[in-house]
């Protein structure tokens, strides 16, 4: 799109730049550098942005339309009126790269690749008999729309307006990128401006070869293509979005969309369709006992990416297969999908099925649950309601981002005001059943990861220590609690070293106490 041959004024350049920043495809830093270069070289800002690969043709067209007060048609968001789309004869539509979008009373709204071409607007008006309302559109998207309306054109018909991407880069399909994640045994796909797509494999980030660094326009296009209109609006209002996405027949993905340096970024984590058997996860046998409890609170904790969701899904699946109960889950987003087996399972997604964890939990006790899964205990109200549910005869599973069992207990208590903390200690001592803390460790052969897990079982001794506020003494009880199925993180790491699954070096990086770990490795026992 051009400005009808007029030289862009500095005020228009500022409007264009601000629009691109607000569209989340260009950072303010890059805009300032580009404007300085444009002044230094005495050339339009548009040429600088395109030459440096900072934005794509579609976003630049949208920005140019904004500067001259024209409507921009985004074909990924605007459905075409069937009659409007076929009103323009094919020969005229292809010659002037024009697509009928909709009717506005007696007028026809038409997206042009160059709405500043008065001859094209007149020609379309004469060919259709309508008064034309000219709008701007991406040259690539208009060419694609014409091929969908009239069939794929020959090279001669396409002329300068065919389907070749004007940005000179391949049009990336997010499904192809996600298929690479699955094929390479990866866990996450990272998309960020200025970098090629990156896949995490066995804990290590690896760029996808053969793909050039992506600009903000490309990232926005890739991500917005898989979001619903409601999700786009939520992201643009809140600047954050958690959602899920399904790669048909292959896997589900947990999607987080965010802004960084004014551009869209995203991370997509693979979630297998099939729920893994707990016995296949490499966790201690004591963990399975938690699925057989009639009531109480069970926490699964650990850093991001440590497999907490996988462990919880396996525990819920055991309940689902063995007991006739009602299971309610509150997740953000829903990750593993549970089918009704022996139990009835209802899964609620924050943002889609409920407004928040706390809001869902306020009502959950009226829904006749036996087992409740809380995706994450984030705030005082959520924690308080989860404790009440566990105390009143429900089995509650939940997660925390904590590094060990004592820290998890402190985290729960510290959320509450000082005057309530003794009451919470008593409540937690009565309702807590166990804590599983886990982390994934790269294996010695570099071909996978092994799980190291710490297990706390709520024995009478542990309950007394919680009630009396002597949390620091719990670790000693765990060290001597093997007969109750308890294991410390250092004991778990030492076992993995002795079995040759992980190296001593990485075990010492991840341990709680280096001297304890050294002694455990040398002694060959707990």
Digit-coded pLDDT (tens) for 245-295: 988 778 889 999 999 988 999 999 998 878 999 999 999 999 999 999 999
pLDDT of amino acid 168: 53
Alpha helices in 52-117 (DSSP H): 57-68, 82-87, 90-96
Query: What residue ranges of the chain are covered by domains with CATH 3.40.50.300?
Result: 278-487
What is the 8-class DSSP label of residue 166? T
Mean pLDDT for 414-421 is: 96
pLDDT of amino acid 2: 52
Please check whether residue 298 is in contact with residue 371, taking contact to mean a CB–CB distance below 8 angstroms. no
The dihedrals phi and psi of 422, each to the nearest 5 degrees, come to: -65, -40
At the topology level, CATH places domain 10-161 in GMP Synthetase; Chain A, domain 3 (3.30.300)
Please check whether residue 310 is in contact with residue 446, taking contact to mean a CB–CB distance below 8 angstroms. no
Query: What residue ranges of the chain are covered by domains with CATH 3.30.300.160?
Result: 10-161
pLDDT of amino acid 169: 53
Distance CA 422, CA 378 (A): 20
pLDDT of amino acid 500: 94
The answer on pLDDT for 172 being more than 80 is: no
Average pLDDT, the chain: 90
Distance CA 329, CA 431 (A): 19
The answer on pLDDT for 139 being more than 60 is: yes
Indicate the pLDDT class of residue 524, thresholds 50, 70 and 90. Answer: low
pLDDT of amino acid 447: 86
The answer on pLDDT for 7 being more than 60 is: no
Question: Using N-to-C axis directions, what is the helix angle for 174-183 and 216-224, rounded to 10°?
Answer: 90
Distance CA 385, CA 367 (A): 14
Mean pLDDT for 79-87 is: 92
**Pairing state between β 72-73 and 131-137:** parallel
Distance CA 491, CA 504 (A): 13
What is residue 404's three-state secondary structure? coil
Please check whether residue 27 is in contact with residue 49, taking contact to mean a CB–CB distance below 8 angstroms. no
Distance CA 431, CA 296 (A): 5
* Element housing 136 (H / E): strand 131-137
pLDDT of amino acid 246: 87
The answer on pLDDT for 1 being more than 80 is: no
The answer on pLDDT for 468 being more than 80 is: yes
Indicate the pLDDT class of residue 5, thresholds 50, 70 and 90. Answer: very low
Distance CA 193, CA 59 (A): 14
The answer on pLDDT for 525 being more than 60 is: no
Indicate the pLDDT class of residue 160, thresholds 50, 70 and 90. Answer: very low
The answer on pLDDT for 199 being more than 70 is: yes
pLDDT of amino acid 469: 95
User: Could you report the per-residue pLDDT of 451-461, keeping only the tens digit for each?
Assistant: 999 999 999 99
At the topology level, CATH places domain 278-487 in Rossmann fold (3.40.50)
The dihedrals phi and psi of 110, each to the nearest 5 degrees, come to: -125, 130
Query: What residue ranges of the chain are covered by domains with CATH 3.30.450.90?
Result: 174-271
Distance CA 391, CA 25 (A): 49
Sign of CA dihedral 419, 422, 427, 433: positive
Mean pLDDT for 15-26 is: 89
**Pairing state between β 198-201 and 186-191:** antiparallel
* Cross-strand partners of 240: 258
What is residue 167's three-state secondary structure? coil
Distance CA 108, CA 126 (A): 12
Percentage above 90 pLDDT, the chain:
65
Closest CA to 338 of 355, 321, 353: 321
pLDDT of amino acid 170: 55
Q: Is 496 exposed, middle or buried (0-12, 13-18, 19+ CB in 10 A)?
A: buried
Q: What is the DSSP string of 175-200?
A: HHHHHHHHHTTEEEEEE-TTS--EEE
Residue 486: Cβ within 10 Å count: 25
Q: How many residues does the chain have?
A: 526
The dihedrals phi and psi of 155, each to the nearest 5 degrees, come to: -60, -40
pLDDT of amino acid 6: 40
What is the domain class of 174-271 according to CATH?
A: alpha beta
Indicate the pLDDT class of residue 446, thresholds 50, 70 and 90. Answer: confident
Indicate the pLDDT class of residue 161, thresholds 50, 70 and 90. Answer: very low
Please check whether residue 110 is in contact with residue 120, taking contact to mean a CB–CB distance below 8 angstroms. no
pLDDT of amino acid 171: 60
Mean pLDDT for 398-402 is: 94
Distance CA 461, CA 476 (A): 11
Residue 119: Cβ within 10 Å count: 8
Residue keyed to tokens 């934005």:
55
CA distances to 94, 146, 481, 487, 511 from 130, rounded to whole Å, are 18, 19, 84, 78, 75
* Model pTM score: 0.72
Distance CA 438, CA 420 (A): 30
Distance CA 59, CA 38 (A): 19
Please check whether residue 347 is in contact with residue 320, taking contact to mean a CB–CB distance below 8 angstroms. no
The answer on pLDDT for 333 being more than 60 is: yes
pLDDT of amino acid 196: 94
Reduced 3-state DSSP string for 350-372: ECCCECCHHHHHHHHHHHCCCEE
Please check whether residue 113 is in contact with residue 142, taking contact to mean a CB–CB distance below 8 angstroms. yes
pLDDT of amino acid 83: 94
pLDDT of amino acid 156: 46
Indicate the pLDDT class of residue 8, thresholds 50, 70 and 90. Answer: low
User: Could you report the per-residue pLDDT of 215-250, keeping only the tens digit for each?
Assistant: 998 999 899 888 888 888 889 999 999 988 988 778
pLDDT of amino acid 424: 96
């Amino acid at each position: 799109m051009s400005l009808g041959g007029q030289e862009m004024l500095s005020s228009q350049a500022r409007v264009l730049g601000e629009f691109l920043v607000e569209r989340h495809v260009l950072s303010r830093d890059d805009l300032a550098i580009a404007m300085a270069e444009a002044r230094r070289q005495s050339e339009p800002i548009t040429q600088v942005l395109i030459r440096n690969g900072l934005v794509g043709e579609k976003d630049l067209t949208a920005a140019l339309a904004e500067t001259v007060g024209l409507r921009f048609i985004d074909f990924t968001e605007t459905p075409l009126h069937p009659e409007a789309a076929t009103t323009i004869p094919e020969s005229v539509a292809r010659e002037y790269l024009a697509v009928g979008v909709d009717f506005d009373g007696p007028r026809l709204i038409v997206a042009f690749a160059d709405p500043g071409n008065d001859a094209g607007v007149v020609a379309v008006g004469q060919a259709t008999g309508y008064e034309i309302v000219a709008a701007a559109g991406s040259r690539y998207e208009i060419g694609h729309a014409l091929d969908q309306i009239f069939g794929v054109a020959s090279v001669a018909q396409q002329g300068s307006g065919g389907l070749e991407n004007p940005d000179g880069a391949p049009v990336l399909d997010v499904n192809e990128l996600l298929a690479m994640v699955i094929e390479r045994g990866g866990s996450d796909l990272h998309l960020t401006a200025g970098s090629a797509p990156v896949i995490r494999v066995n804990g290590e980030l690896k760029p996808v070869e053969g793909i050039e660094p992506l600009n903000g326009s490309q990232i926005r296009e890739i991500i917005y293509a898989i979001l619903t209109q409601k999700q786009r609006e939520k992201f643009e209002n809140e600047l954050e979005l958690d959602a899920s996405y399904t790669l048909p027949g292959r896997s589900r993905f947990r999607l987080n969309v965010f802004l960084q340096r004014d551009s869209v970024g995203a991370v997509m984590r693979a979630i297998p369709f099939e729920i893994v058997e707990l016995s296949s996860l490499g966790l201690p046998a004591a963990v399975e006992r938690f699925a057989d409890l009639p009531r109480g609170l069970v926490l699964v904790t650990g850093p991001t990416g440590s497999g907490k969701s996988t462990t919880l899904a396996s525990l819920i699946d055991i309940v689902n297969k063995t007991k006739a109960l009602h299971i309610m889950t509150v997740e953000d987003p829903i990750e593993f999908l549970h089918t009704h087996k022996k139990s009835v399972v209802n899964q609620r997604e924050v943002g889609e099925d409920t407004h928040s964890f706390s809001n869902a939990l306020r009502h959950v006790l009226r829904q006749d649950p036996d087992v409740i899964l809380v995706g994450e205990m984030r705030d005082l109200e959520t924690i308080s309601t989860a404790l009440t549910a566990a105390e009143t005869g429900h089995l509650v599973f939940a997660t925390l981002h904590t590094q060990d069992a004592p820290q998890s207990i402190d985290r729960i208590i510290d959320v509450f005001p000082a005057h309530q903390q003794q009451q919470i200690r008593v409540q937690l001592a009565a309702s807590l059943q166990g804590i599983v803390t886990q982390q994934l460790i790269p294996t010695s052969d570099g071909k996978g990861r092994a799980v190291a897990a710490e297990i706390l079982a709520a024995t009478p001794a542990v309950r007394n220590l919680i009630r009396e506020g002597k949390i620091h003494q719990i670790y000693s009880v765990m060290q001597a609690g093997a007969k109750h199925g308890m294991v410390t993180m250092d004991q778990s790491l030492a076992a993995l070293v002795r079995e040759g699954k992980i190296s001593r070096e990485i075990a010492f990086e991840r341990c709680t106490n280096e001297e304890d770990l050294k002694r455990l490795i040398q002694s060959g026992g707990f």
